[in-house]
Chains A and B, each alone.
Chain A
Amino acid sequence: MEPVLLRARGVPNSRHIDTYLAAGGYEGLKKALTMDPEAVTKEVLDSELRGRGGAGFPTGRKWTFVPKEHPGPKYLICNADESEPGTFKDREIIEYDPHLLIEGIAIASYAIRANTAYIYIRGEFVRWARILETAIAEARQRDILGASVMGSNYRLDVWVHRGAGAYICGEETSLIESLEGKRGFPRLKPPFPAVVGVFGKPTVVNNVETLACVPSILTRGAAWFASIGRPRNTGPKLYCVSGHVRRPGVYELPMGVTFREIIEEHCGGIRDGHTLKAFFPGGSSAPVMTPDQIDVKADFDACAEAGSMLGSGGVIVLDDSVDMVEAAANLAHFYAHESCGQCTPCREGSDWAMDILDRILEGHGRPEDPATLLRICQYASQGMTICPLGDAFALPISSIVKKFPYEFERHIAAATPRPPKKLPVLPWAGPRPGFDGQ
Chain B
Amino acid sequence: MPKVTIDGTVVEVPAGTNLIEAARQAGVAIPYFCYHPYLSIVGQCRICMVEIEGAPRLAIACATPVTDGMVVRSETSARVKEARDAVMEFLLANHPLDCPVCDQAGECLLQDHSFTEGRDTTHMVETRRTFPGLERRLLGPHIVQNQNRCIHCSRCIRFTQEISETAALTYKSRGNHAFIDTFDGQPFTDPFSACTADVCPVGALTIREFRFRKRAWKLRSTPSVCPGCSIGCNLWIDHHERTVYRFTPRENPAVNATWLCDFGRFLAESLNETHCLHPLHRVEGQLHRVSWGEAMRALALDVSAARTLRVVASANLSNETLFLARELFVRHLKGELVVPVHPGEPRRMKNGKGEWLYSRDAHPNSEGARRLGLELVDGERLARFLYGAADLTVILDPTAHPYLSTAEALQLLRVSPTLSLARTNHPTAEVASWLLPVASLASDEGTFTSSGGHVQRFQPAFSPAGEARPAWQILQLLARAMGVSALDLDSPAAVFAAMATKEKGFSGLEWERLGGGSPSTYREHQHVG
Contact = CB atoms under 8 A, between A and B. Distances in A.
B43 A188 contact: yes
Interface stretch (A152-160, A319-327, A351-359): A351-359
Interface string A396-438: 0000000000000000000000000100000000001011101
A383 B58 contact: yes
Interface stretch (B119-127, B191-199, B348-356, B461-469): B119-127
- How would you classify the secondary structure of chain B's contact residues: helix, strand, loop or mixed? loop
A366 B171 CA distance: 35
A183 B170 CA distance: 9
B57 to A, nearest CB: 4
A344 B83 contact: no
A368 B121 CA distance: 14
B263 interface: no
Contacts of A343: 43-46
Contacts of A383: 57-59
Contacts of A378: 86
Interface in B425-467: none
Nearest to B47: A344
A340 interface: yes
Given A341-B174, A343-B44, A438 B137 contact: no
B127 A421 contact: yes
Interface in A170-197: 183, 188
A143 to B, nearest CB: 42
Given A383-B57, A432-B136, A438-B212, A188 B41 contact: yes
A336 B127 contact: no
Interface stretch (B5-13, B90-98, B292-300): B90-98
Contacts of B42: 188, 342
A125 B213 CA distance: 55
Contacts of A359: 126
B175 interface: yes
Given A183-B170, A188-B41, A386-B43, A352 B124 contact: yes
A344 B178 contact: no
A438 B144 contact: yes
Nearest to B135: A432
A274 interface: no
Given A339-B176, A355-B126, A383-B58, A345 B152 contact: no
A435 B144 CA distance: 9
A29 B170 CA distance: 44
A350 interface: yes
Contacts of B136: 432, 435
Contact of A375 (B94, B123, B178): B123
Interface residues of B, number: 43
B505 to A, nearest CB: 45
A224 B429 CA distance: 99
Contact of A348 (B59, B93, B174, B208): B93
A188 B65 CA distance: 13
B138 interface: yes
Nearest to B174: A341
A438 B83 contact: no
A347 B152 contact: yes
Nearest to A167: B174
B263 to A, nearest CB: 20
Contact of A379 (B45, B90, B94): B90
Nearest to B62: A188
B242 to A, nearest CB: 24
Contacts of A355: 126-127
Contacts of A348: 90-91, 93-94, 176
A351 B176 contact: yes
Contacts of A366: 125
Interface in B100-127: 123-127
Contacts of B125: 366
B175 A336 contact: yes
Interface string A368-382: 100010010011001
Contacts of A345: 46, 86-87, 90
A349 interface: yes
A246 B177 CA distance: 39
B91 A344 contact: yes
B54 interface: no
A348 B43 CA distance: 16
Given A344-B90, A349-B90, A385 B46 contact: yes
B46 A344 contact: yes
A336 B176 contact: yes
A384 interface: yes
A166 B174 contact: yes
14 contacts: A188-B41, A341-B176, A341-B178, A344-B44, A344-B90, A344-B151, A345-B86, A345-B87, A345-B90, A347-B90, A375-B86, A375-B123, A379-B86, A435-B138
Interface of A: 166, 183, 188, 336-345, 347-352, 355-356, 359, 366, 368, 372, 375, 378-379, 382-386, 421, 432, 434-436, 438
- A-B pairs, top 8 by smallest CB distance, nearest first, are A379-B86, A383-B57, A355-B126, A348-B90, A351-B176, A341-B178, A339-B175, A341-B175
Interface of B: 41-47, 49, 57-59, 63, 83, 86-87, 90-91, 93-94, 123-127, 129, 133, 136-138, 144, 151-152, 154, 170-171, 174-178, 208, 211-212
